[in-house]
Structure 1
Amino acid sequence: MSMMKEFREFAVRGNVVDLAVGVVIGAAFGKIVSSLVGDIVMPLLGLVVGGVDFSKLGIVLKEAVGETPAVVLAYGKFIQVCFDFTIVAFAIFMLVKGINRLRRQEAAAPAAPPAPTAEEKLLVEIRDLLKK
């Protein structure tokens, strides 16, 4: 089997395409969550804790000298990324929880038994007559 043929089989396999779609949607979802956290949650949280802008929090380790920029330990950005992660993780948890609930409902609700056939109805009548 040639390398190109193997690659083609691998690339068009359903799981690979599903994974690619998931990655693209995940990247878009990540941007939405980053905007939610950066533009809505963090300003509100900063207001609650006294007007602190978390993205600007940091410790200057070495001052800027001429063209060399300052070396800053930007722990505020880290706090913001932690909030991003928490919100993404919670959203994914809720999505998986909903999917699992739907799966349980499908498994718990067995299909109604099919109506008896004409043959079965006739056999039931015969049985009932024999009982009398």
Structure 2
Amino acid sequence: MLSTLHIGAAGELLVQYRLLRLGIDSARLTTDSGVDLVAYSPSETQARTIQVKAMDKPVKAGGKGAHSLGWSFPADLRAELLATVLLSDDSVWLFTREEARALASPRAQNTMHLTWYVEPTNRGGLSQRDVEAHRIDHKAAALIG
């Protein structure tokens, strides 16, 4: 079983790899400043900051419900973009700060939680199908260059 540090590091590396495959360079930051990666595209004149949140595999909602994915992030997200990662199938989604806040629910003090069900349910809430347009392959060029 991977530690949370390993899950986080693997998530950052997966985002870097997927960006590189799209022709976008990025660099990991070693400080814990709320920014994990800085991405730069040769076609753009500015860099974009990314915070990466990763999880190993889907979990059951509420511990016993339908499988869901969820990531917590600071309400005052410093990075311009939020990348969410599911390591079990190498999935990466990319959201602007504003998109992430709009889709997430408030949690504990100064924390937001972005979550969705793996399969559509009749319980309401987001499903993975609702966020397909946020897959990194679809969003990176528009958001980074």
TM superposition score category, shorter chain reference = under 0.3
User: Which has the larger share of helix?
Assistant: 1
* Greater C-alpha radius of gyration: 1
TM-score between both structures, scaled by the size of structure 2: 0.25
TM-score between both structures, scaled by the size of structure 1: 0.26
User: Which has the larger share of strand?
Assistant: 2
Q: Say which structure, 1 or 2, has more relative contact order (CA 8 Å, 6+ apart).
A: 2
